[in-house]
């Protein structure tokens, strides 16, 4: 039996363990992927510290994955050995009403790569062929890995907000997702794009990729600044952090008819006054979970035509052996960090 290296979570609050495990075999309709790049996401920290629950232990983490097709299982059509693909990270049934109507993220059977099934911090993984999306050589493997979450998640969220040409958009949290959210808002036709973060370096980066204004809540009066920048409140606020305080801030920053999209994971109560917060200004609060397969062809097109600038997206590439160092760097929120990507030769 052939073996490979994998970085597995064996118990919560412990470093990942580098172990030798058998290379999985693709079944009918499945493909074996030789992983070339896997992004480290904040969610990986949450699986590690137990804030979000994985459903099996040990588990190979890693849900932002790009690689090469190494083998096609029986019945796979349209893919060949050596194809460059990035992966939609939800393994879904493919047959239910939700899967068939482009809402795969609602599928009852959905299992997530690196949370419910073994993910991409390994040399190989197996997944259904329909989870794979081809991408051209103009996109690197590391960038393609980021398309699957750091780009796809804010793309899905901003699609939910139904941005109209000239809308003002506030992005709260300029990390791996936020930097791409700024660009996607611009592509979707937003006028004023306001980036909010505590780190000046992140705000500088946001300005480089298309933000028209920035807010540092430690220095600026958020309420005043938003009112000045957006005629009383923004049309769309996207919350990417997941704290009660910032979710509250997102809602408060929206104006008449404003839409708040919550992407950050926050299991706590936030408090809401239905009259003041919703009715009076006809505001809407939306949730956005993961993304859908239908988002992939669009974001791959945007990245391949360089409409989406991914030149700032990959901060570091590290080998699998350094995975725990990468997780620690993300935890310490090192300056200017957008994404650390584990890459394979």
Pairwise CA distance, residues 164 & 144, whole Å: 28
- Each residue 41-80 as x (binds Zn ion by CB under 5 A) or -, in order, gives x-x-------------------------------------
Residue span binding Zn ion (CB under 5 A) among the ranges 91-99, 177-185, 292-300, 308-316: 91-99
Return phi, psi of residue 169, to 5°.
-130, 130
Binder among 19, 21, 96, 134 for Zn ion (CB under 5 A)? 96
Smallest gap from residue 118 Cβ to Zn ion (A): 16
Q: Which is nearer to Zn ion, 64 or 235 (CB)?
A: 64
Nearer to Zn ion, 212 or 291 (CB): 291
327 counts as binding Zn ion under rule CB under 5 A: no
CB of 272 to Zn ion, least distance (A): 27
Among 7, 107, 177, 299, binds Zn ion (CB under 5 A): 107
Q: Does 292 bind Zn ion (CB under 5 A)?
A: no
Nearer to Zn ion, 63 or 283 (CB): 63
Residue 295 makes contact with Zn ion by CB under 5 A: no
Backbone angles phi, psi at 90, to 5 degrees: -100, 120
Of 81, 78, 76, 92, nearest in space to 131 by CA: 92
| Among residues 54, 59, 85, 99, the one that binds Zn ion under rule CB under 5 A | 99
Give 3-state DSSP helix, strand, coil % of the chain, rounded to 5. 30, 25, 40
- Cβ atoms 257, 233 nearer than 8 A: no
Query: Kind of pairing, strands 284-287 and 169-172?
Result: unpaired
- Cβ atoms within 10 Å, residue 97: 9
What x-and-dash track marks residues 149-178 binding Zn ion by CB under 5 A? Answer: x-----------------------------
| CA distance linking residue 172 with residue 239, whole number of Å | 5
What is the CB-side half-sphere exposure of residue 180 using CA atoms within 13 A?
28
Cα–chain center distance at 175 = 10
Shorter beta-carbon distance to Zn ion: residue 171 or 234 = 171
Do residues 102 and 108 touch, judged by C-beta distance below 8 A? no
Q: 48, 60, 92, 313: which one contacts Zn ion (CB under 5 A)?
A: 92
**Binding residues vs Zn ion (CB under 5 A):** 41, 43, 92-93, 96, 99, 107, 149
């Amino acid at each position: 039996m052939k073996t490979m290296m994998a970085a597995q979570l064996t118990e919560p609050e412990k470093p990942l363990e580098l172990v030798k495990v058998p290379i999985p075999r693709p079944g009918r309709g499945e493909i074996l992927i030789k992983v070339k790049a896997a992004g480290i996401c904040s969610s990986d920290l949450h699986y590690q510290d137990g804030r979000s629950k994985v459903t099996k232990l040990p588990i190979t983490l890693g849900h932002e994955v790009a690689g090469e097709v190494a083998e096609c299982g029986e019945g796979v059509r349209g893919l060949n050995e050596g194809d460059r693909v990035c992966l939609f990270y939800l393994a879904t049934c493919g047959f239910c009403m939700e899967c068939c109507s482009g809402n795969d993220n609602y599928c009852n059977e959905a299992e997530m790569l690196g949370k419910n099934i073994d993910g991409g911090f390994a040399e190989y993984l197996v997944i259904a062929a329909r989870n794979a999306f081809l991408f051209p050589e103009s996109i690197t493997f590391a960038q393609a890995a980021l398309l699957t979450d750091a780009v796809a998640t804010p793309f899905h969220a901003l699609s939910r907000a139904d941005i109209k040409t000239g809308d003002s958009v506030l992005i709260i949290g300029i990390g791996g997702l936020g930097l791409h959210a700024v660009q996607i808002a611009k592509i979707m036709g937003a006028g004023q794009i306001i980036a909010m973060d505590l780190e000046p370096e992140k705000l500088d980066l946001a300005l480089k990729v298309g933000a028209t204004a920035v807010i540092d809540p430690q220095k600026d009066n958020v309420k005043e600044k938003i009112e000045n920048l957006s005629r009383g409140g923004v049309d769309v606020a996207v919350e990417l952090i997941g704290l009660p305080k910032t979710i509250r801030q997102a809602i408060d920053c929206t104006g008449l008819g404003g839409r708040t999209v919550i992407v950050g994971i926050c299991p706590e109560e936030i408090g809401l006054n239905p009259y003041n917060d919703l009715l009076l200004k006809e505001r809407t609060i939306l949730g956005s979970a993961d993304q859908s397969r239908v988002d992939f062809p669009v974001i791959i097109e945007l990245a391949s035509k360089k409409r989406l600038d991914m030149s700032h997206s990959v901060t570091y590439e590290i080998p699998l052996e350094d995975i725990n160092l990468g997780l620690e760097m993300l935890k310490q929120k090192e300056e200017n960090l957008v994404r650390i990507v584990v890459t394979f030769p």
